A and B are shown apart, each in its own frame.
Chain A
């Protein structure tokens, strides 16, 4: 499997703060990858590095086998990008936004763009600033898709949208994915909906990659263990404990299981994606947790 995006110890520092650090991951071509993490985790930084909006401080990123900045002229036509808050020119009409896309892109599918906007009921003569947030997001997505890209990068595409607009936006993405071979990377801090659309998961927290795997594997690899209150050292020896919580009489652990869990002390449950993501994000650094558990 070839990688659409490959990063190697990628880092970006602003002043003395690392926005992203030691990020090594692969986004497989043809996948629909969700990049999740809390605000400030480095998701936007990673995506902006991938499209070349910013330069890395450390490490390397390659997108479709190109260096985003050095090979910009070759790479840009192949990648559709919708930045956070889907920026558009507010004083432009929708038709003028299309004209901008037509002027600035050698590959441009005007017909498909117009058809999509018509289907969504977005009038071409309306000023962009007068559209609803959901419609603006759709216009931005339409522009990115009209480039006929191989890779589509969406940075927090639904964060500012209401639930209905969010669903409609995701539907458009899914529709396109089902029709084409498009690779999609989308970042989000909202986990709901992702399972429906995505097949790969990358969890970023505090500027580091915690998980990068197919969603099936993530789901299969994590288990919730519950049992009477007990010491977790024995479990932690075999499995990675992501989160532990104790009540007076009961202990529950979310573990990244190293194979099957054979331990009669514990009742083993399957967990859904949201719970896994929250477990990772709720405790940030599992390493420290394990150290705390060990001591």
Chain B
């Protein structure tokens, strides 16, 4: 059965590995370059308690240099969806073409067939997403030292959530596909669903799964230390009595927020944030959410194949 599973999804697995290789081809040279620049410019020394003279410029020029490609990396958040959907494809294609009738009328029982095929595609999905995470994490190390890894675009591809995303995309495609039996349509719908759910979780749900903390400090003082590398969900100024101050566009022409706040609202600044220390807890919760839905959908698909078909 292992050979059969492998042979039936060889093409899609190789494509998924190919996509990973292309990403690696892009990231490895720039990653090396960035790590070198990080060492060469002495950025690490700037992160200490006593930044040396000229650190501001050094950090700014380093960020300017790598920001663009770092922003491009945000697109990689689609990758778990593509890989997951892709790995579900051979399964669904077999239902569409009718070739499942060949496999199911050999001597193997349907349950073993399902277990063999699903086991392999899930295994490949996990391996590829882990490799993807390792690659991106390595690439981004210097930037994480500077900015932390709590922001959505970074959080999504660090830790373990991307494994959950991949399994989720695979499971959605599988469930839609076994019911609908139209490969292309099922894959498109599954990818859209993946995108919509990810967007919903990023924008709305994540900050509600682990309720954020809030902090208040006088506007003329420096930002609190706990906000360093934290995910700041919102930040607003108030006057001395805690009444919100609305800043209009044009109030802060030079973009220096701290000076601006101080000038227009000589009171406090309130921030709502998720501290950097919560990184793994939040990763686990979100992974649990996606992996949990994936397991439920996979169980449903297996049940559907076994019972209804």
Contacts and interface: CB of A to CB of B under 8 A. Distances in A.
B72 interface: no
Contacts of A81: 101, 105
A147 interface: yes
Contact of A88 (B11, B99, B107, B110): B99
Given A89-B8, A103-B3, A76 B99 contact: no
Between B11, B106, B107, the greatest number of chain A beta carbons within 10 A of the residue's beta carbon is seen for: B107
Contact of B108 (A51, A84, A104, A144): A104
B7 interface: yes
Interface in B1-32: 1, 3-4, 7-8, 11
Contacts of A140: 102
B97 interface: yes
Q: What DSSP secondary structure best describes chain B's contact surface?
A: helix
B109 A87 contact: no
Interface string A63-89: 000000000110011010101110111
B1 A104 contact: yes
Contacts of A76: 105-109
Interface stretch (A32-40, A92-100, A209-217, A253-261): A92-100
Interface in A163-201: none
A173 to B, nearest CB: 17
Contacts of B110: 72
Contacts of B105: 51, 53, 76, 79, 81, 83, 144
A54 interface: yes
Interface string B261-298: 00000000000000000000000000000000000000
Contact of A100 (B4, B100, B307): B4
Contacts of B109: 72-73, 76
A106 B109 CA distance: 12
A76 B8 CA distance: 21
A103 B102 contact: no
Contacts of A11: none
Interface string A100-136: 1101111100000000000000000000000000000
B41 interface: no
A84 B3 CA distance: 26
Given A72-B110, A79-B105, A81-B105, A87 B3 contact: no
B104 A53 contact: yes
Contacts of A250: none
A89 B107 contact: no
Given A89-B8, A91-B11, A101 B98 contact: no
A55 B101 CA distance: 14
Interface in B195-212: none
B103 interface: yes
B186 to A, nearest CB: 19
Nearest to A147: B107
Contacts of B309: 53-54
Nearest to B11: A91
Contact of B107 (A90, A99, A104): A104
Contacts of B307: 55
Given A100-B7, A104-B4, A83 B107 contact: no
Contacts of A55: 307
Contacts of B4: 100, 103-104
A101 B307 CA distance: 24
B107 A106 contact: yes
Nearest to A106: B107
Contacts of A107: 107
B38 to A, nearest CB: 47
A83 B106 contact: no
B91 to A, nearest CB: 13
Between A51, A72, A84, the greatest number of chain B beta carbons within 10 A of the residue's beta carbon is seen for: A72
Between B4, B101, B102, the greatest number of chain A beta carbons within 10 A of the residue's beta carbon is seen for: B102
A105 B107 contact: yes
Contact of A103 (B1, B11, B101, B104): B1
A73 B110 CA distance: 9
Contacts of B1: 103-104
A104 B1 CA distance: 6
B181 to A, nearest CB: 13
A109 to B, nearest CB: 13
A87 B97 contact: yes
Contacts of A104: 1, 4, 103, 106-108
Contacts of A79: 105
A88 B98 CA distance: 9
Contact of B102 (A54, A73, A89, A91): A89
A44 B158 CA distance: 52
9 contacts: A76-B107, A83-B98, A88-B102, A89-B7, A99-B7, A100-B7, A100-B103, A103-B3, A144-B105
A-B pairs, top 9 by smallest CB distance, nearest first, are: A104-B106, A81-B105, A83-B101, A77-B107, A105-B107, A87-B98, A87-B99, A76-B107, A104-B108
Interface of A: 51, 53-55, 72-73, 76-77, 79, 81, 83-85, 87-92, 96, 99-101, 103-107, 140, 143-144, 147
Given A76-B109, A83-B102, A89-B102, 9 more contacts: A53-B104, A77-B107, A79-B105, A83-B98, A89-B7, A90-B97, A100-B7, A104-B4, A105-B107
